[in-house]
Structure 1
Amino acid sequence: MNGGGRSFADLVRFERPPPPTPASRRLRRLLLLTAIATVAVDVINLQYSAEAGFGLGVRTFWAVLRAIGFLFLMREVRYGRLTARPLGLILAVTTVFASARLVQPKEGDFLPRLPVVAGLVVVVALCSAVVWQLFRSPGIDEHLTRRKPRRVVAPWVLTARVAALSYSALMFVPCAVALATLFDTPRLRPEIAVPLVVSWFVLGLVIGLVAGIISFVTLFGHGWARLLLALISAFVLLVQPTLCYLLLGVDGLIRDGTPMVIAALVCLYGLARSRESPPRESPSA
C-alpha cells in the first residue's frame, strides 16, 4: 500500500552504503589511524603532565571523545554523505586544540618534552591529511557526490549547520574547567566568578538548543534563519573568548577560545557562501 508516493517498505528500508572506492578505503584507514593516534598522544601527554585535577580530567575526556568522532566520520565517508566534509573540518580543528590543551611545558622550561611535541606534530599532520583528502582529493569528491541526496541542500549550508552544532560542546568544556578553578585558586572573586560560571553553563544549554533548531531551519533556505544563525555565531564569537580570558586567563583564551572562534568563523563563512549558491528544489519523484 502506497502513501504519499512511498510504500511502507520504503519507509522501513535500511540505507545501504554505496560500493567503496579505493579513495574512500584509504580515507577510512586514515581516519582510523587518526583516532588511534589521538588516544595514544593523549596518553603520552598525561604521562608527562605535572598538573592533576578535575580540569585536566575534563580536557582529557574531551580529547578522547575525538576518537569517537573520527569513528563516526568513518561511517559518514562510508555512506558517501556530504556532511563528512564540514564534520571532518570541525573535528580536525578541534582535535588539534583538544590535544594542545594537554600539552604542558617542562618545569622551568618553555617547551614541553620531546615525546609530547612529537605526538602533537603527528596529530596535526594526520588531521591536515584528513582535511586535504576531504576537500582536495578528486576520488573522495566523486565518492561523496555520486549518490542522489534526499533533499538538495547547498554544501555550505551543511557546513554552517555542523559548525553551529559544535557551539554547545565548545562552551561546556572550558566552563567545566572554570568550575574546577572555583574550588582551587579562582582568578576572580567568588561573588563575580560564580555567577559568570553559572551564566556560562546556562548559555551553553540555550545556545545548543537554539543553534540546533535554527541551523536545521536554514537547510530549507529561509533567509531569516540564516540571519539568526549569523547573529548567534557573532554572539558566541564575542562571549566565549571573553569568558575564557576572565576565568581561565590567556592560556584558556588560546586553548579554549580559539576553537570557538574558528567554528564561528566557519559557520559565518558557510552562511555567506550559501547566499551565492541557494538550495535547489528537489526533483519530484
Structure 2
Amino acid sequence: MTPRPVRVLTALLIATAAATVVVEVLNFWYAPERGVGFAVRTGWALVRTLGWLILIFQVRRARATAKPLSLILTMTTLFAVGRLIVPSSGRPPLPGLISFGVLALLCLTVVVLLHRHPGIDAHLIHQPRRPVLTREGLSLREAPPSDPWVLTARLASFSYSPLMLVPALTAVGTLRHRPEWTLAVILWILAGIAVSYVALLSAYFIGRGSHRARAALTSTTLAVLAFDLPLCGILLGEDGLIRDGAPLVVAAAITGYALRRAAHTPARVAV
C-alpha cells in the first residue's frame, strides 16, 4: 500500500500540474500582444507541464530521479511562467500575479517534501529490481543505488537544449528586422540540438565515474553560457537576457555544483 505522505505528495503534484496550465491560460488571456516569442514561450511552458506528470510517475514508482527532477522542474517552471506574466511594458495583471504566487507555493512545497520528509525519503530509497544473468540462471536483483549528485547533473544538463532552443526560436521572429543575424540564429538552433547529444553522452560516462566526462560536461556548460547569453542580449535585449538567460544560468550552476559533489563520491560498480 502506498504510504500516506506519498499520496499527499502525489495530490500536490497533480495540483501543481493543473495550476501550471491555469496560469498559462490566464497569461494567454491577459497578454497584450501574442507574437512569435509569446507563442514559443507558451508552447514550451505547456510541453514542460508534461514533466510534472513524469514526476508523478517517478514518485509512485519510488525512482531516485524524482528528487533532482523536482528541482529542475521547479526552477524551469517558475522562470518560464514568471517571464510570461511580466509584460514587456506596464504592470502584470493581478490575477496572473496571484496565480503565480499559488504556483510558486505549490512548487516549493513539493521540493521541500521530496527533500526533507523522512517518509517520502524512505519511499524513494527502494530500488527497482532488474534481471541479472548468474551461474544459476536469470534472476532478479536490486539495482545498485545511483549517486543523487550524478542524477542531478544529468537532469540539469539535459535542460540545456530546450533552454537554448526557446530563445533561439523566439529570435526567429526578429529576423525580418535584422536579417544579418540569420546565420547566427541558425547556428544557435543547431547548437541547441547538438548540446543534447553531448549532455547525453557525458551523463552516461559520468555515471560510470569518468573524470574526463565530468571535465567534458563542465567545458560544455561554459561553452553553452558563452554562446547563448550574448545572443540573448543582442537579439532579444535586456528583457530576453533576463527571461531566457537566467534559467540557463541556474541550470548551469546546478550542474556545476552537482558535478563538484559527484567528484568527491566514490563511483558505484554495478553487480
Normalising to structure 2: TM-score of the pair? 0.91
- How many residue pairs get aligned? The number is 258
Q: How much does 1:105 deviate?
A: 4.0
- Percent identity among equivalent residues? 43
| 1:139 Cα deviation after fit | 1.4
Aligned-pair distance for 1:202?
Answer: 1.1
What SS does the aligned partner of 1:182 have? coil
Given the alignment, which residue of 154, 159, 169 partners 1:166? 159
| Superposed CA offset, 1:154-196 (max 9, x none) | 110110001111111111111110011213x4xxx422x1121
The match for 2:238 is 250
How far apart in 2 are the matches of 1:255 and 1:263?
14
- How far 1:55 moved relative to its partner? 1.6
> Which of structure 1's runs of 4+ aligned residues deviate more than 2 A?
104-107, 146-149, 278-282
Q: How far 1:237 sits from its partner (Å)?
A: 2.5
**2:144 aligned with 1:179, yes or no?**
no
Cα displacement (A) at 1:252: 0.6
Distance 1:24 1:194, change over 3 A: same
Aligned 1:209-224 pairs, distance under 5 A: 209-224=197-212
1:252 is paired with a residue of what secondary structure? helix
Corresponding residue to 2:188 among 187, 200, 215? 200
For 1:202 and 1:66, the matched residues in 2 are separated by 21
The 5 Å alignment of 1:40-55 reads: 40-55=22-37
Give deviations 1:209-251, integer Å, cap 9, x for gaps.
1111111111111111111111111211222221111110111
Q: Which of 27, 36, 45 lines up with 2:9 in the alignment?
A: 27
Aligned partner of 1:87: which letter? L
Select 2:20's aligned residue among 19, 31, 38: 38
Deviation at 1:151, TM superposition (A): 3.6
Partner of 2:79: 97
Contact 1:38 1:66 in 2 (8 A): no
* 1:142 matches 2:122: yes
**What residue in structure 2 maps to residue 131 of structure 1?**
111
3-state DSSP class of the match of 1:101? Answer: helix
Q: Distance in 1 between matches of 2:105 and 2:197?
A: 34
Gaps of 5+ in 2: 129-141
CA apart distance, 1:56: 1.0
Contact 1:156 1:273 in 2 (8 A): yes
Cα offset for 1:78? 0.6
Letter of the aligned partner of 2:112 in structure 1? W
Greater mean deviation of Cα atoms: 116-125 or 262-271: 116-125
User: Aligned partners of 1:279 and 1:145: how far apart in 2?
Assistant: 18
Deviations 1:1-28 (A, max 9, x none): xxxxxxxxxxxxxxxxxx4211111111
SS in 2 for 1:80: coil
Contact kept? 2:127, 2:145, Cα under 8 Å? no
CA-CA distance at 1:281 after TM superposition: 2.4
Q: Which amino acid aligns with 1:200?
A: W
Show the 5 A alignment for 1:224-239.
Answer: 224-239=212-227
Confirm or deny: 8 A CA contact 1:99 1:120 kept in the other structure.
Answer: yes
AA of the residue aligned to 1:195: L
Give the alignment partner of residue 121 of structure 1, picking from 101, 122, 128.
101
Which residue of structure 1 lines up, in the alignment, with residue 67 of structure 2? Answer: 85
Once the two structures are TM-superposed, the CA of residue 121 in structure 1 deviates from its matched residue by 1.1
User: Offset at 1:197?
Assistant: 0.5
CA deviation map 1:244-267 (0-9, x unaligned): 111101111111101111111111
Could you tell me whether the CA contact under 8 Å between 2:202 and 2:213 is conserved in 1?
yes
| 8 Å Cα contact 1:35/1:66 also seen in 2 | no
2:145 is the alignment partner of 1:152: yes
User: When the two structures are superposed, what TM-score results if normalisation uses the length of structure 1?
Assistant: 0.86
* Partner residue of 1:112 out of 72, 77, 92: 92
**Aligned-pair distance for 1:146?**
2.8
Work out whether residues 164 and 264 of structure 1, in 8 Å CA contact, stay in contact via their aligned partners in 2: yes
